[in-house]
Structure 1
Amino acid sequence: MARIMIITGGTLGDWVLEEIHHDDILVGSDRGALFLIQHGYQPHISMGDFDSVTREELALIRSSSHAFIDCDPIYKDLTDTEMAFNWALDQQPSHILLVGALGTRFDHSLANVHLLRKGLAQGIPCSILDGHNHLMVIDRTTRVERGPYTHISLLPLTLEVTGITLHGFQYPLHQATLTIGQSLGISNILQEANGLIEVSTGLLLVIQSKD
């Protein structure tokens, strides 16, 4: 199945439009659906409680989406983004890309980062992208590309991550262990077009960044 791109209600901009592939399945989560429609895209499905849009905007989202699911904003247990993410997991796509998942609400941003762990557990590659960062969670040897990013940081998402070995980085690690609370993995630099991150145990958050 094709890639699913979830556009949710965090920080969005014109950079999002450059990331849309012609064969992406576009999921609009709450105000993210409105963003798509305002930029000429018809969401394959829009879902959420839509408490961040007006009645007129909600009517536009409903009429402009191939499918539409709404819910009560009070009597629900999941965030809008997690609702969309769970739907995407059920489709068994080749990849799930979350945009608008980072923003001014740090609680929502952190919860969305944790969704990457859920995707990894189901064997579906997932990532978060904004105008300055690309995030993914890994638990095995993974190749990374430098692309437009100047820095790459590694943070443990479990109490510890062992066996971390880096190839192609300015600051090498060999069979290292990172524990929560350490900053050892912050702001490394890829010296080559590609780098290799080896992991033995644990979950490692990989953040590629540019200013």
Structure 2
Amino acid sequence: MEKTFHIVAGGPENLIPDLSEYEKENTIWIGVDRGVQIIIQAGLYPDLAVGDFDSIKEEDWEKIERKVPSLRRYKPEKDETDMELAIMWALEMKASNVKIFGGTGGRLDHFMANALMLGKFKQDYPDINFELIDVQNNLSVHLPDSYEIKWDEEKKFISFIPIFSDVYGLTLEGFKYPLNHHHVPAGSSLCISNELIQETGHFSFKKGILMMIRSKD
């Protein structure tokens, strides 16, 4: 049985989608620092809260202690970020899917750390699906293989970004701007803002790590 872990950080709330739309059977919610309050405010039930919680008021902390069955409170001085600790716990619990909310917007260092962290975890756990989601974007990370992708009227713009190294053999089929076994250097803007021209497309590549971002204007 697949186990989906939804991790909510304390990013700008205007960028966090309606979390109730993501509540499904076998979904486990993890609040990262102030993200645990966002889960509670959405009428959902956090299974775990992780962080130093230095931004939480004492009266709010008492409410969190009542509502959250498992709390992991850390000192601010540590090697891992709170988000990294939350993902590590999800992996310990044999996650099949890890979706992150509240990890974009605000501080760019937090966003970059979260996005690149997904690439590292994907390398180490290739069978797990990792996504970073906000109201405007869905970010996912992919290893060499062939993938099917379906048209999404809401998030129709699709970008492919090599991370850590170049990507080799990238083929895009069913796209407005197709490619055939193309070498895409890291840092290249070649594959930014593409679109599907049919209901279903495909992308594949032979070597590297590819970040895919689906966006709306």
Same fold (TM over 0.5): yes
**Could you tell me which amino acid in structure 1 is paired with residue 196 of structure 2?**
L
Residue 179 of structure 1, CA deviation: 1.0
- Per-residue Cα deviation, 1:185-205 (whole angstroms, up to 9, x for no partner): 000001122221111000011
Distance 1:184 1:102 in 2: 23
Q: Which residue of 2 aligns with 1:39?
A: 42
- Per-residue Cα deviation, 1:159-208 (whole angstroms, up to 9, x for no partner): 20000001111100111111122110000001122221111000011000
8 Å contact kept, 2:17–2:134: no
Residue 137 of structure 1, CA deviation: 0.9
Q: Which residue of 1 aligns with 2:179?
A: 173
8 Å contact kept, 2:19–2:42: no
Distance 2:17 2:102 in 1: 12
8 Å contact kept, 2:160–2:191: yes
Q: Which residue of 2 aligns with 1:182?
A: 188
Q: Which residue of 2 aligns with 1:7?
A: 8
* Pairing 1:146–2:147 present: no
Q: What RMSD, in angstroms, separates the aligned Cα atoms of the two structures?
A: 1.4
Report SS of the residue matched to 1:143.
strand
Residue 15 of structure 1, CA deviation: 2.4
**Could you tell me which amino acid in structure 2 is paired with residue 53 of structure 1?**
I
Distance 1:162 1:65 in 2: 46
Q: Summarize the alignment of residues 62-77 of structure 1 with structure 2, pairs less than 5 Å apart.
A: 62-73=65-76, 75-77=77-79
8 Å contact kept, 1:5–1:97: yes
Match of 2:201 among 185, 195, 200: 195
**Which range moves more in the overlay, 1-10 or 104-113?**
1-10
Match of 2:82 among 61, 72, 80: 80
- Per-residue Cα deviation, 1:59-117 (whole angstroms, up to 9, x for no partner): 211221011110112x2111111110111111121211011111211100011011212
Identity of aligned residues (%): 34
8 Å contact kept, 2:3–2:94: no
Q: Which residue of 2 aligns with 1:60?
A: 63
**Which range moves more in the overlay, 111-120 or 147-156?**
111-120
Distance 1:165 1:209 in 2: 20
Distance 1:146 1:16 in 2: 23
8 Å contact kept, 2:146–2:202: yes
8 Å contact kept, 1:3–1:24: yes
Distance 1:116 1:196 in 2: 22
8 Å contact kept, 2:169–2:183: yes
Structure 2 unaligned spans of 5+: none
The alignment's TM-score, normalised by the length of structure 1, stands at 0.94
The alignment's TM-score, normalised by the length of structure 2, stands at 0.92
